[in-house]
């Protein structure tokens, strides 16, 4: 079973005859804040990172997954506690019932802290039909990496907590493929950076250090947390955009 590999302490050396993991992105609607959902497809199964904010976008993700792969979806992960990255997981989990819904302990703590407030607030803003009445909460994932069944040579590492537009971000780093899923540590150049939670210079500088960490990975593919439709991903340009945006606050 795929879940058994969560508890292995051994990361296997790369088999050059094995296909690398494939990553695909789905961009939510503008109303759904143009958040990115990432699908990781292996040789026997798949995993998803960051369900959309709104139900219509989640239903679109279900169709997109089925159109992209016939392999079973085994897990759905969340990068951080903001509702636009987990609120409408319900339709996805209903469509793929063997998938586990997971996140790091510090992310679950943030979800728990704000859950009741957000569940009451967002239907009044978006409409009751746009968000689930009771959004599912992810279970706690205590480990620092996982692998997909059959792809033990391609670990998916959880790096966190790191600072982004919240204090509880998780980077998902695929070292074999040199791909990093950044959540809201990186905003694409088509979007405004959510900076409302930069309350102190220390938080700002911590976010800048997170950008340094991403740069140090020398990734071939950098997947941001938000990208408007019609734009192409450009990891280095998006990294520079986020860095420049934060520098404006540092210069104040």
* pLDDT computed for residue 252 by the predictor: 75
pLDDT cut 70: percent of the chain above it = 92
**Overall size of the chain counted in residues:** 252
Under CATH, what is the fold of the domain 2-250?
Answer: Metallo-beta-lactamase; Chain A (3.60.15)
Domain boundaries of the chain, sorted by first residue: 2-250
CB 186 within 8 A of CB 214: yes
**pLDDT tens-digit map of 123-149:** 999 999 999 999 999 999 999 999 999
As a whole number, mean pLDDT of residues 101-129 equals 98
What predicted TM-score, i.e. pTM, was given to this entire model? 0.93
Cα 154 to Cα 35, 65, 76, 145, 207: the distances in Å are 26, 21, 18, 10, 28
* Percent of the residues in the chain that have a pLDDT greater than 90, as a whole number: 90
Q: pLDDT at residue 19 above 90?
A: no
The span from the CA of 229 to the CA of 206, in Å, is 29
Task: Choose among 185, 188, 175, 184: nearest CA to 218.
Answer: 175
pLDDT band at 49 (very low <50, low <70, confident <90, very high): very high
DSSP 8-class letter at 18: S
Q: Report how far Cα 142 is from the mean position of its chain's Cα atoms.
A: 17
Written as six digits, the tokens of 51 are 């369900």
Quote the pLDDT of residue 14: 42
136: nearest Cα among 172, 175, 73, 91: 91
Query: Do the beta carbons of residue 143 and residue 157 sit within 8 Å?
Result: no
Inform me whether the pLDDT recorded for 2 exceeds 80: no
* Mean pLDDT across the chain: 93
Q: What secondary structure letter does DSSP report for 185?
A: G
Mean pLDDT, range 172-185, rounded to an integer? 99
- 168 in helix, strand or coil? coil
């Amino acid at each position: 079973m795929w879940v058994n590999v969560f508890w292995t302490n051994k990361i296997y050396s790369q088999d050059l005859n094995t296909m690398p993991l494939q990553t695909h992105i789905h961009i939510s609607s503008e109303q759904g804040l143009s958040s990115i959902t990432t699908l990781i497809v292996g040789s026997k199964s798949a995993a998803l990172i960051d369900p959309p904010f709104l139900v219509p976008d989640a239903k679109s993700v279900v169709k997109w997954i089925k159109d992209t792969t016939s392999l079973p979806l085994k897990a759905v992960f969340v990068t951080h506690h903001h509702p636009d990255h987990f609120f409408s997981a319900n339709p996805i989990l209903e469509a793929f019932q063997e998938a586990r819904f997971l996140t790091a302990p510090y992310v679950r703590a943030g979800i728990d802290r704000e859950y009741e407030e957000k569940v009451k607030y967002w239907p009044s803003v978006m409409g009751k039909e746009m968000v689930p009445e009771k959004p599912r909460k992810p279970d706690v994932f205590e480990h620092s990496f996982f692998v997909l069944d059959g792809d033990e040579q391609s670990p998916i590492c959880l790096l966190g907590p790191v600072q982004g537009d919240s204090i509880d971000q998780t980077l998902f780093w695929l070292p074999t493929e040199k791909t990093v899923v950044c959540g809201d540590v990186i905003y694409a150049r088509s979007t405004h950076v959510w900076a409302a939670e930069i309350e102190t210079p220390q938080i700002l500088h911590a976010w800048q250090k997170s950008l340094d960490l991403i740069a140090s990975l020398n990734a071939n593919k950098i997947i941001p947390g938000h990208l408007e439709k019609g734009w192409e991903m450009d990891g280095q340009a998006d990294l520079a955009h986020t860095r420049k945006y934060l520098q404006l606050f540092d210069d104040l």
